[in-house]
Structure formats: structure tokens, C-alpha cells
Amino acid sequence: MEYQAIAKQKLPKMAYDYYASGAEDEWTLKENREAFSRILFRPRILIDVSKIDMTTSVLGFKISMPIMVAPTAFQKMAHPDGEYATARAASAAGTIMTLSSWATSSVEEVASTGPGIRFFQLYVYKDRKVVEQLVRRAERAGFKAIALTVDTPRLGRREADIKNRFVLPPFLTLKNFEGLDLGKMDQANDSGLASYVAGQIDRTLSWKDVKWLQSITSMPILVKGVVTAEDARLAVHSGAAGIIVSNHGARQLDYVPATISALEEVVKAAQGRIPVYLDGGVRRGTDVFKALALGAAGIFACGVRAGGGGREAGVRNVLRMLRDEFELTMALSGCTTLADINRSHVLTEGDRLRPAPRL
């Protein structure tokens, strides 16, 4: 939260508002945080916690902790190093970075920063040849999975961006689309990004397109933007490799539940057939523990980029803080491995409304 305050001081208003704002009344934006604060711990005591193992594997890739970096667009608005800094910091932390389709550095440029496990977040454009080309480029550049964003047939009403007439600064482009005449965003009467999405993003996207995507790549596909049991079951049926419970950082449809509130419903519907990850609202290591206790296999932290002040050292520090806090939460809850974390370690609002079990 302190990093967010620093970012507000340092970044131009248009850039900060883009990163920090939500849709319409921003009820879901507040709720993404507040819902975590209503979940309490039930710590277990007198357990040897002298050794704590936070390692896990995601789609078969071993990582140092269940904390990964969520995709954030336009990172060079925060700092000239942009996505390079995030890629290097995630790699140094031994975790996964997800690169946005709308990055200000290309898949090839990010790959050139050195080794690391990287996923690619994909928006599906009306021109499917553009999508095919982009997916193949990501695969060639060594990216390991696709996070398919499914909650953005149109852009949510982000009123801060409308008031600011948001547009990408003239010295930046959407690097992945630069050679296709799709890299520039025109000035508009409201949000330049909303106009760009209206012109380029495919509103016909449906479950059959998950199959289409599987036909053009061997990379596993995570469906990002699921918040209901019904869609969780359809994601399993579609052959998705995993689900990311996400409300797009509260930037799409306002008054959807916080992701931590939707998590358990989605986990139950997936029935252990595919892993479920959480994205949104995480600001503390305690939040990570709560997500895992409610069935998440890991979390994607949003805002690591802008929160870290844009510099690699800042991003590294945000990841280290989350890691250290999570490790401490595990120790104080009596858990030495991720497998030890279970539903009995937390008390949700729903639990408090139900009568206590007779012991």
C-alpha cells in the first residue's frame, strides 16, 4: 500500500489513474481488498515450523513460491525499463511472469532479458491471423502457456480514463502489434483504449474458440476471467489447463464479487480436475495464505509493476515482501508446506453465519 502511495506521487496522473482505477462506482475495486479483510485465521500451535517449504509447480513448472506476476499493460508508462524490469525481477525471484498482449515491449524483447518461466496473456483480435501470428511468436520466444482473457468483449467503463481521455504516450507503442499497423492508439473523445478495443477486439469470442486456440498451439491454455461455477465447469469441459479467477482488477463489470469471494465456488465446480488460480486484491502475504486455504493453487499478483515504482529493484522488493509475509503467515499458522494449508485454517463470513460444529 505504501508503494501505491509512492506511485501516486511519482507517476503522471493519466498513468497512475490507468493502473489504479476500476470500473464505474469502483465498488468491486474496494471489495477486492475488503473481502480479504473479512476472512480470519484459525492458526494451529505447537508445530515444528523450523523449516518451511513454499515451492510449488504450475503446469509442471517448478517455482519458488505460489506467488506469480499478473499481466499489466503499458508498463513503460511507469518506468523506461517497463516489462524488462518485471521479467528480470520475476526470474530472480524464481517465479512466473505473465506478459500482457498490450505490453510496451515485444515477446522477443522480453525473452532476450534472460532465462525465466513466462506466460503470455492473450486478447483475441477480430483478425484471427494476427492472433495466430502472435501466439506462434510467443511460442517461438519460449513462452510456456497462454492466459486467455475472456472477460473483455468490450472494455469496462473506467471513468478515470474517460475523464483523462486516456491514450498511450506518443513515445510508446503496443510493441507486439507494431509491424501490423495495430500498435498505435488514437486520441478519442473519451478513452483511447476503449475506442481501440471497440475497433479491434473480437466480441464473438466463445467457448469454441478455446478449441480453436488449442488447434494452433501446443501451449497449455489458462482461462482468465472466470467467477462462477457454471463457467468453471465449461472451462473444464473445454479442455483448459487451468482457471484464473479474475474480475480484471475490478476494471470490467462493477458489482461482481471480489475474486476471493468467488474462489471457493469455482474451486468446488472444478472438482480438482484442473488447477484454479486467483488474481486480484492481493496486497499481503496473509492474502496469499487465505487464497490457498480456500483452494487456490497459487495467486497472480496485480500491480507489482506500478507498485514497485517501475524499477527492477522495486519489483523485486514487492515480490520479496509478499514472499516474506507469506512465509511468516505459514509459520504462525502451523504450516510447513503448501499441502498443509487447508480450509480449516480460515474462517469466512459464511462460516461465522453458520452454527459452530459441536466438538
**Residue 237 has which C-alpha cell?**
469441459
**Does the CA dihedral 123-253-269-230 come out positive or negative?**
negative
Asked whether the predicted pLDDT for residue 308 surpasses 70, the reply is: no
Return the bridge partners of 68, or none. Answer: 300
Residue 343 annotated as binding?
no
Residue 79 annotated as binding?
no
Residue 250 to residue 229: CA distance in whole angstroms: 19
Q: Which fold has domain 1-352?
A: TIM Barrel (3.20.20)
Q: What is the pTM of this model?
A: 0.94
Residue 203 annotated as binding?
no
Residue 315 to residue 324: CA distance in whole angstroms: 14
Count other C-beta atoms under 10 Å from residue 33's C-beta: 18
Catalytic member of 79, 237, 248, 345: 248
Residue 314 to residue 311: CA distance in whole angstroms: 5
CA atoms within 13 A on the CB side of 277: 27
Cell 496522473, residue located: 13
209, 234 Cβ separation under 8 angstroms: no
- The pLDDT tens digits for 20-71 are 899 999 999 999 999 999 999 999 999 999 999 999 999 999 999 999 999 9
Residue 123 annotated as binding?
yes
Cα 355–Cα 261–Cα 4 angle in degrees, nearest 5: 130
Q: Closest by alpha carbon to 187, among 163, 161, 200, 168?
A: 168
- The pLDDT tens digits for 338-356 are 999 999 999 999 998 877 6
The predicted model gives 258-282 an average pLDDT of: 98
Which of 108-122, 164-178, 281-295 is predicted with the least confidence, judged by mean pLDDT?
164-178
| Residues constituting the chain | 359
- Whether 248 is catalytic is yes
Residue 305 annotated as binding?
no
DSSP code for 193: H
Look over the chain and give the mean of its residue pLDDT values, rounded to a whole number.
93
Q: Where are the domains of the chain?
A: 1-352
Strand segments, DSSP code E, in 5-60 are: 40-41, 56-58
**Residue 142 has which C-alpha cell?**
519460449
User: From residue 24, how far is each of 3, 257, 317 by CA, in Å?
Assistant: 24, 15, 32
Residue 204 annotated as binding?
no
- The pLDDT tens digits for 212-246 are 999 999 999 999 999 999 999 999 999 999 999 99
The 3-state DSSP class for residue 96 equals coil
Cell 457454471, residue located: 230
